[in-house]
């Protein structure tokens, strides 16, 4: 009697980066203050398997996206980045460089949509990015020159939206910046750029900033 051949579904080959992304996202979803040590240790162990800089970039993008979309937890994600840099010296320079570039690019994204909902979501991401930049700076992952570079970009071709963003970031980092002359210079530039026709809200934002940041 002829033996019947049993059909088997061909095994699906999954790209390593797809598996890495899935595993990293799953771990980040479990990250919390309560379980930080346990989950961050697993994340570091996962990142130890990295063999190329492209995967480092993927990790940076995933962590950045989580931080800016869940910006009430930026300190947690900043602490995670600090741990990664300290425990993975072979990738620390690449990780810091790629993280810096991602944060800077997140500020440069133009918000030119006419859809109010799209504008709101975009502005929320920018605000989240600025909170993450502040947390990374206070954690000594981003240095002062990078923060000043971000602030300087907001003073060029001033608009009300740029003044809003400048005030937001400066309120977060201003009292932690050591170069007070540079802080004063940027504040003066923004002050000179505020036009009479700008909204009262914009003028109050800047007035509050001058009260909050000690120079």
- 81-138 pLDDT, tens digit per residue, is 999 999 999 999 999 999 999 999 998 866 667 788 888 889 999 999 999 999 999 9
Are the C-beta atoms of residues 31 and 80 closer than 8 Å to each other?
yes
Neighbours of 90 (CB within 10 A): 10
Domain 14-142 of CATH type 3.10.20.30: no
The candidate with the shortest Cα–Cα distance to 209, out of 129, 186, 197, 199, is: 186
- pTM of this prediction? 0.89
Looking at residue 142, what is its pLDDT?
96
Find the helix packing angle between 144-154 and 180-193, rounded to 10°: 10
Q: Please report, for the chain, the start and end positions of each structural domain, with discontinuous segments joined by +.
A: 14-142, 144-215
Mean pLDDT of 75-82: 98
Neighbours of 123 (CB within 10 A): 15
Q: How does pLDDT run across 159-214, given as a tens digit for each residue?
A: 999 999 999 999 999 999 999 999 999 999 999 999 999 999 999 999 999 999 98
Distance CA 167, CA 164 (A): 5
């Amino acid at each position: 009697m002829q033996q019947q051949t049993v059909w088997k579904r061909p095994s699906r080959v999954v790209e390593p980066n797809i598996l890495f992304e899935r595993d990293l996202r799953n771990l980040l979803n479990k990250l919390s203050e309560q379980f930080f040590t346990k989950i961050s240790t697993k994340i570091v162990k996962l990142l130890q398997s990295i063999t190329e800089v492209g995967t480092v970039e993927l990790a940076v993008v995933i962590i950045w996206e989580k931080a800016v979309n869940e910006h009430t937890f930026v300190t947690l994600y900043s602490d995670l980045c600090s741990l990664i840099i300290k425990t993975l010296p072979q990738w620390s320079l690449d990780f810091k460089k790629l993280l810096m570039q991602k944060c800077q690019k997140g500020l440069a994204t133009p918000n030119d949509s006419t859809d109010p909902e799209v504008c709101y979501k975009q502005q929320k991401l920018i605000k989240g990015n600025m909170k993450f930049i502040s947390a990374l700076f206070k954690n000594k992952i981003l240095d002062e020159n990078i923060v000043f570079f971000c602030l300087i970009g907001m003073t060029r071709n001033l608009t009300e939206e740029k003044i809003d963003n400048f005030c937001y970031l400066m309120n977060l980092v201003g009292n932690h910046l050591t170069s007070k002359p540079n802080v004063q210079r940027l504040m003066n530039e923004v002050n000179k750029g505020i036009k009479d026709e700008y909204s009262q809200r914009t003028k109050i934002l800047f007035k509050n900033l001058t009260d909050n940041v000690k120079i």
